[in-house]
Amino acid sequence: MKATTKGHDLMNFQALQIALELIRALRPVIDKVGRSSKREAEQMQDAANSVARNLAEGRRRRGKDRRYLWDVAAGSADEVRTSMLICLANGWLDEADVKGAMALDDRVLAIAWRLTH
């Protein structure tokens, strides 16, 4: 039997699984960005890791604390997206480099919105 919390399956939390897929998809992106801007690459990695951490922590919390952590996860996912856009604007990445990661980030943002609204 799977444990649930108000409809949120604790054993198979889709938001966390997609956040982890995003981290994997960002590996080559972050490696490429790091050749031009180590600081931007580190920022992108930190933000992506924050998405997963806050989704996981929020999954186990209750009340307003849960909502706050999922809001933070959404903010970090938006930070990842903005970091990719910054890298595109600087010419450090091409659209093809971020296509998959951008789609996963959009999925995380959509799920985080549903979790908080």
Find the CATH number of the domain harbouring 30.
1.20.1440.60
Which stretches within the chain are classed as H helix?
14-34, 38-60, 63-90, 95-116
Distance (Å, whole) CA 84 – CA 29 = 9
- Let me know if residue 39 belongs to a domain: yes
In a domain, 8, yes or no: no
Query: CA-CA distance, 83 to 29, in Å (whole number)?
Result: 11
Residue 4 lies inside a defined structural domain of this protein: no
Q: Name the residue range of residue 19's domain.
A: 13-116
Place of tokens 């920022």: 43
Handedness of CA 7, 67, 100, 21 (dihedral sign): negative
Please tell me the pTM assigned to this model.
Answer: 0.88
Per-residue pLDDT of the chain (117 residues; tens, 9 = 90+): 344 445 545 446 899 999 999 999 999 999 999 999 999 999 999 999 999 999 999 998 888 899 999 999 999 999 999 999 999 999 999 999 999 999 999 999 999 999 998
